[in-house]
Amino acid sequence: MRLLTVDAESAGQRLDNFLLRLLKGVPKTHVYRVIRSGEVRVNRGRAAADTRVAEGDRVRVPPVRTSASAAGRAGGDAALPHVPPREFPVLFEDEHLLALDKPAGVAVHGGSGVNFGVIEQLRCAREGRPGHRFLELVHRLDKETSGVLLLAKKRSALVSLQDQFRQRDAHKVYQALVWGHWPKSLKVIDQALLKSTDAQGERHVRVVAPAHDQARRAITLVALREALAGASLLDVTLKTGRTHQIRVHLAHAGHAIVGDPKYGDFAANKAFAREHRFARMFLHARELGFDHPASGQRVVLLAPLPAECETLLASLRRNPFP
């Protein structure tokens, strides 16, 4: 049994996030299990996952195994996986924050069948380095999406940046290749979204009427960047940050993203992948703007379009897909 004291950097954090940062290599499902069971105690009392810890709180944590070499837990669970340390291309870094160019195909964090993601691998890679005791995701990107991913290295930076995202002060621009000819007149998509989760923990999002009692308003701005034979390259700006917002909005407009495995045109994706050997979703977080949490100066970060996307566009310009 471990007894931890919450420091100033961790004050105000949710209990689940506090534990996930400390228990490196432990799957989210196990962390939530020990919280629900009451094995985790805050100041000797039971606490929920969304409990906010305060400086000086005493958190009791049960023994957990954090490597694949450890024997499985009693009750038949498989051994917990080892998290391999990994660095990612850095776009910007100082003592307050870190911006990465996330590749497609890598989840930002573990959970829902994924043992580990960017945050867990990066924490392992930088464990013990000065200035990396605190490392948290500011926002999320889908596993299939590449581009700018922002992390905080101080609790104060995390709070400031997440406030900017909630208040829509952060500026996010994506590039997407979609099927068909995007109408130039369609510049704003203002459609409410509803998120649900199936029995396997898989998230699904759909457009619903604004009057739906659980609907959340979602606004996406779209500009046609280039018209190609059978496809359109778009600049997409998010005014809200809902789960799968771009993917669902574009598909609902009749122009699904090329390669989208959840909301896309599956037959077209398969034929396209065979013709062009392009096996990912063409959605890239190209630009992120925000006010620096310490200086207040505006920061604009750019992630170049990945090589495989540039190669695909060059190929389409030479040999348009029918």
Q: Hey, which residues are catalytic here?
A: 142
Q: Are the C-beta atoms of 126 and 93 separated by less than 8 Å?
A: no
In this structure, the number of other CB atoms found within 10 A of the CB of residue 257 comes to 27
**Running DSSP on this structure, what letter comes out for residue 14?**
B
Stated length of the chain? 322
Closest to 179 in 3D by CA, of 301, 42, 316, 46: 316
* CA end-to-end distance (rounded Å), the chain: 63
Closest to 193 in 3D by CA, of 210, 173, 168, 181: 210
Give me the DSSP letters along 141-203.
Answer: --TT-EEEEEEESSHHHHHHHHHHHHTT-SEEEEEEEEES---TT--EEE--EEEEE-TTS-E
Residue with tokens 């922002």: 150
Q: Are the C-beta atoms of 150 and 96 separated by less than 8 Å?
A: no
Q: Are the C-beta atoms of 261 and 150 separated by less than 8 Å?
A: no
